A and B are shown apart, each in its own frame.
Chain A
Amino acid sequence: MTTHIVSAFDEDLGKLRNLIAQMGGLAEDQFGKSIDALSTSDRVKAEHIIAADEKIDALEKEVEENAIKLIAKRQPMAEDLRSIMVAIRIASDLERIGDLSKNIAKRTLAVNEPLPRSVNVGLKRMAELAMEQLADVLDAYASLDTQKANDVWHNDSRIDALYNSVFRELLTYMMEDARTIGMCTHLLFGAKNIERIGDHTTNIAENIHYLVTGTTLDGPRPKQDSTSLTPVESRAEK
């Protein structure tokens, strides 16, 4: 991309990109730590994560303010305009990812016993995939790589598939032993949070595609989360 005749315009856009990069780094960090805290029942770490969320919120505000100033001052057109709109949207997705990580950390405080091993493995695997996706999408944004963004968009179905299996497993636990219902419900929400982080990551991928090409990604996103359609059978019916 060529540079602007008014060099301050480039500086303003660069600042916006830097803010998004910072937010991305923080969101990745918070998400990673929240999974650690949940799987090792580390309450101190969880408290730290909850407190640190406000940094991401503050950055989102800064992105918004800068974007509004940029629009007012420079009247951007074409790709410049798209890049500013997309920065606002990505900032909002990253802020949500921060919130969801905070939620996972809160679950750590609510779950007072060690996690069943296989559930722990499932959740961690889901989180790893989501982390990978998040890292890839942030790379794709930094390098404006649409191919990479498209890959992220397609790969979200893997997280959904894992979520399905974690969901079923937790259901089984609850059916077998009613005393686990409390813990399993919290873990179910935790798993759902990870799945939602995956969805926000694909939103970011869609926005990168729009920023670079000016067109939207067509067709329904490959979805494999069928848990909302899964009937829960009671034991009596069996």
Chain B
Amino acid sequence: MDAAVMQAEKTHKTVMTPAEPLIMKQGKPKIVAEGVTVHYGEKQAIFPLDIKIPDRAVSAFIGPSGCGKSTFLRCMNRMNDTIPICRVGGKITIDGNDIYDPGLDVVQLRARVGMVFQKPNPFPKSIFENVAYGPRIHGLAHSKTDIEEIVVKSLKRAGLFEEVKDRLDAPGTGLSGGQQQRLCIARAIAVNPEVILMDEPCSALDPIATARIEELIDELRQNYCIVIVTHSMQQAARVSQLTAFFHLGTLVEVGDTEAIFTNPQERRTQDYIMGRFG
């Protein structure tokens, strides 16, 4: 490894590609992270990083396993709070509000910031109940008709309604993998979130189910701020407008997806996306 790369690794600096990404010019960023660090006990998982995440766009986090991309994703809806040895430093704001403010209601935060996981995890309930559960506990619906309306709207938005409309009472776990994942997305959007975090949402799906989810992500970005962690470079290139490359706990490079995949500035980004030895 040459001296320049070793030096860059020590400083944990982030390169912007291009210097002012075009996607950031479309308006105020939705999420702003400043000097965010994460420790698991003694081990530092994320070194101080700054990033601005645009609204109504898809941002992709890429990088090898253990690089900190999922850890950082989970900071954005405080999922890391559930891990006792995990300490988060720095500041993360959504629309200017500090999400680590001690007075903040974490349950409310997670309604605003929905999450979809790698493995589809529907509740062991009916398709209808999977989607209805969130709005009900968050008090978003006051009558049976309200609930039905939300369920149908969410299932339609997730592109699943036509496939399940005749069996809304059937268990969610009986659906195919791709349908289950779309059910989870319907469940996430049922509570009217502003941000949707997706942690490798397609890694357990076949190419056709993957294509459906990608099509869905592309539609959802009209209304939501979406952040996706993915191991598939092609997927990041296809669905996102902003790409961030993480390596060994450092945010190495962030910029317009097109620029990152055609002409990255950092050697480590280049080696990773081209599948070369670093």
Question: What residues make up the interface of A, taking CB atoms closer than 8 Å to B?
Answer: 1-6, 9, 75-82, 214-215
Contacts and interface: CB of A to CB of B under 8 A. Distances in A.
A76 B167 CA distance: 43
Interface of B: 233-234, 237, 261-264, 270-271, 273-278
B277 A79 contact: no
Contacts of B275: 4-6, 9
Contacts of B278: 2
B244 to A, nearest CB: 16
15 contacts: A2-B271, A2-B276, A2-B277, A4-B276, A4-B277, A9-B275, A75-B233, A75-B234, A77-B233, A78-B273, A78-B274, A79-B270, A79-B274, A81-B261, A82-B263
A5 B3 CA distance: 22
Contacts, number: 42
A6 to B, nearest CB: 6
B263 A76 contact: no
A1 B273 contact: no
A214 B263 contact: yes
Nearest to A10: B276
A42 to B, nearest CB: 48
Contacts of B264: 78
B277 to A, nearest CB: 5
Contacts of A215: 263
Contacts of A76: 274
A214 B276 contact: no
Contact of B262 (A2, A5, A82): A82
A78 to B, nearest CB: 5
A76 B276 CA distance: 11
